[in-house]
Amino acid sequence: MVRVERKWRTFPGRNRFYCDGRIMMAHHTGIFCLTVGLIVLTCGLFFAFDCRYLAIHITPVIPAVAAVLFVFVMATLFRTSFSDPGVIPRASSDEAADIERHIEVPNGTHSTTCRPPPRTKEVVVNGQSVKLKYCFTCKIFRPPRASHCSICDNCVDRFDHHCPWVGNCVGRRNYRYFYLFIVSLAFLCVFVFSCVITHLVLLSRDGTFVDAVRASPASVVEGVICFFSVWSILGLAGFHTYLTTSNQTTNEDIKGSFTAKRGQDNFNPYNHGSVCINCLSVVCGPVPPSLVDRRGIVTPDVVRPTPSSLPKPSENKEGRTYGTVDYGRPNVGPNGNITPPPRLRTGKSNGSCGGRRSFRPTDSGDRTGRRSYHKCYNARHEVGEIFCR
């Protein structure tokens, strides 16, 4: 039975694949497991120790809202973590060679500089000149807004950043799910924190705050986790809301790609001019298909010959018979006549004699009754003769 090998097993990047290539994540997933654990632990304690009391004394809508937010947060988290962020496939050897031949050297072919010039191309996007940089790892010119992730070792289209909390890169194909994840997580964190404080306050009516803590210690754990998490989550959600409204990426904002430099006018060519249109294009725009065929079948580039197709050793297509050549020291008589060595086995030869120099037979008309030889050095550096009949 022929063993089928999927392409995800030979993927050149530093990624991990699960479920036969259906799930694609970064190599290190420890922080992602910590993220899932914190969310599940906090919400599990909330549903177990707070929701029942709040549903009876306030309204049953609280557990329903918390459940909807929890399901939405986990769905967007898994969608962000398990999907292809927009990896650009590397060039094949033939494509890389073709790109190398067409690269134009800005400084000329006879440049005297020791360092090679940068390999870039310029394209115009909405009236703005954008540079395309050459990736020496993937052997391609990266498209606009793409960048190479040093952690996953892949070029990612519309690269935003590598997020260890979700265990994956954030790019064109999963940025919307990442944005929805952090926004919904901010709502969930604020909602749980508010409900926990309300629960403790209601419990402290019949006694002191210490009595309320003793009655529901899990609420204290939830409140501590939410208190130290809500500030960073709210800040991250606000920052990405700003990026979404201006149609920028984290990578572009940090590098200042669209800020004025040296008195030159520089603007964002991807800005649609409206906050609503920018948000709709990011959140509701079409998701391009994955360029990585993870579950495809590996096909060999070169067809290996089978043993049945190889010629047998006894077969000779030219109608010749192969003889054998033996080695030995020549016998030289007193008068200088040379005779073959005693162990010489004669036969017609069509190839090398096996010495340090190749032997070519003489013409077919001179083979009968004629000996040819050439000099060869043995292991003791003594001159001998190799005879072939």
| Cα→Cα distances 138→71, 90, 154, 249, Å | 38, 5, 7, 22
CB 89 within 8 Å of CB 135: no
Tokens of 47: 């549903």
Q: How many CB atoms lie within 10 A of CB 189?
A: 24
Residue 297 — φ and ψ, nearest 5°? Answer: -95, 135
**Contact at 8 Å (CB) between 376 and 359?**
no
How far apart CA 53 and CA 38 sit, in angstroms, is 23
Known catalytic membership, residue 163: yes
Write out the two tokens for 239: 């920052």
Write down the catalytic residue from 43, 135, 149, 163. 163
> Please, are residues 359 and 350 in contact by the beta-carbon 8 Å criterion?
no
Neighbours of 278 (CB within 10 A): 20
Q: How far is CA 181 from CA 31, 128, 185, 199, 229, in A?
A: 16, 32, 6, 26, 14
Active site residues: 163
